[in-house]
Amino acid sequence: MGWVTVAAYALCALMAGVVARRAPFARAGFRRERLFWAGLALLMGFLAVNKQLDLQSFLTALGRCDARLQGWYEIRRPVQRAFIILLLTFTVLGGAALAWVMRHALKRIWPALLGLVLVVGYVLVRAVSFHHMDALINTRLLDVRLKSVFELSGLVLILWGAWRMLRRAGP
């Protein structure tokens, strides 16, 4: 499933890049929309590379070592829980702020924006690596891990949003 996810991130990066380049953003009011798609392409490209390099595991190990050195590793659960709540709050508020900034284009970009919020929320929570959260996302549903469902559903929404934009742009 890892390679499928890497391919999905790469495809999202490619599609978002194509939208940023080809969609009809001629008027000045569409500058934000072009920036949204270009930023989404860069982020998806980074996450494709990250999926292969597993940088969040490095950050998790670094945090674990730091907690041990500072002597609070044994009481890490409340800190992790608070950090997850903070990250999820940040993700939702960031998504809401981006929706506000992009409110004039929301009708066109909402699937990609929703997909972005899902992917970013998943990646941030996954990076914290809280044991109970890991147990939840590693649960299998019809022989597929929930983490794949969470991550891929966001990527599918981004792809759908890009496809809608390209379909509007024409040949």
Q: What is the pLDDT along the chain (171 residues), one digit of tens a residue?
A: 678 889 999 999 999 999 998 876 655 557 888 999 999 999 999 999 988 887 777 777 787 888 889 888 788 778 777 888 888 899 999 999 999 999 988 999 999 999 999 999 888 877 776 555 555 556 666 665 666 777 889 999 999 999 999 887 766
Q: Give the pLDDT score at 112.
A: 97
Unique residue bearing structure tokens 């998504």: 95
Q: Give the pLDDT score at 3.
A: 84
Rounded distance, CA 155 to CA 163, Å? 12
- State phi, psi for 141 to the nearest 5 degrees: -130, 115
Within 10 Å of residue 30's Cβ, how many Cβ atoms? 16
Please list, in sequence order, all residues whose beta carbon lies within 8 angstroms of the beta carbon of residue 150, skipping any fewer than 6 positions away: 118, 122, 137
Check: CB of residue 127 under 8 Å from CB of residue 160: no
Q: Give the pLDDT score at 140.
A: 64
Rounded distance, CA 99 to CA 107, Å? 10
Q: Give the pLDDT score at 116.
A: 96
For residue 116, what are the CA distances in angstroms to 74, 108, 145, 159, 161?
34, 14, 20, 10, 11
Q: Give the pLDDT score at 133.
A: 54
Rounded distance, CA 77 to CA 154, Å? 28
Counting runs of H as helices and runs of E as strands, what totals does the chain give? Answer: 7, 2
The verdict on pTM exceeding 0.75 is: yes
Please list, in sequence order, all residues whose beta carbon lies within 8 angstroms of the beta carbon of residue 147, skipping any fewer than 6 positions away: 122, 126, 137, 138
Q: Give the pLDDT score at 143.
A: 63
Domain boundaries defined on the chain: 2-169
Rounded distance, CA 159 to CA 40, Å? 11
Q: Give the pLDDT score at 63.
A: 79
Q: Give the pLDDT score at 30.
A: 77
Q: Give the pLDDT score at 13.
A: 97
